[in-house]
Amino acid sequence: KNEVEQSPQNLTAQEGEFITINCSYSVGISALHWLQQHPGGGIVSLFMLSSGKKKHGRLIATINIQEKHSSLHITASHPRDSAVYICAVRWGGAQKLVFGQGTRLTINP
């Protein structure tokens, strides 16, 4: 069983909609990463957070340490936001990440 679970696995929405992608993990972590993978395969790091909330443009990432849960929100979604969004966590002093399976987001014009 994967220790990092994302939901939904697939999400299709209309342009302009508010998007939420969820990530749950099994034990306490030192940091959580949100990544974006475009159809070509390249991955971009969006956020790294260990508490609270971070915002970059239309993207917002939150984390609730007590509930072991993080969300990635996209406001005013656009077709160019279509991608796979991946959650990954790091435990303690570990030098590696454990990845969720990803959420495939499609925004239709």
Partner 1 sequence: DGGITQSPKYLFRKEGQNVTLSCEQNLNHDAMYWYRQDPGQGLRLIYYSQIVNDFQKGDIAEGYSVSREKKESFPLTVTSAQKNPTAFYLCASISGDWHYGYTFGSGTRLTVV
Q: What is the DSSP string of 83-94?
A: EEEEEEEE-TT-
Query: Do 97 and 35 touch, CB atoms closer than 8 A?
Result: no
CB of 63 to partner 1, least distance (A): 14
Q: Examine residue 92 and tell whether it contacts partner 1 (CB under 8 A).
A: no
- Considering the rule CB under 8 A, would residue 100 count as an interface residue with partner 1? yes
CA nearest neighbour of 65 among 36, 93, 90, 28: 28
Q: Is 100 helix (H, G, I), strand (E, B) or coil?
A: coil
**Interaction residues for partner 1, span 35-74 (CB under 8 A):** 35, 40-48
Which window, 17-25, 31-39, 61-69, 72-80, contacts partner 1 (CB under 8 A)?
Answer: 31-39
Binding segment toward partner 1, per CB under 8 A, in 15-23, 56-64, 71-79, 91-99: 91-99
Give the binding range for partner 1 (CB under 8 A) out of 14-22, 55-63, 69-77, 95-103: 95-103
- The amino acid occupying position 30 is S
Residue 49 sits at φ, ψ, to 5 deg, of: -145, 150
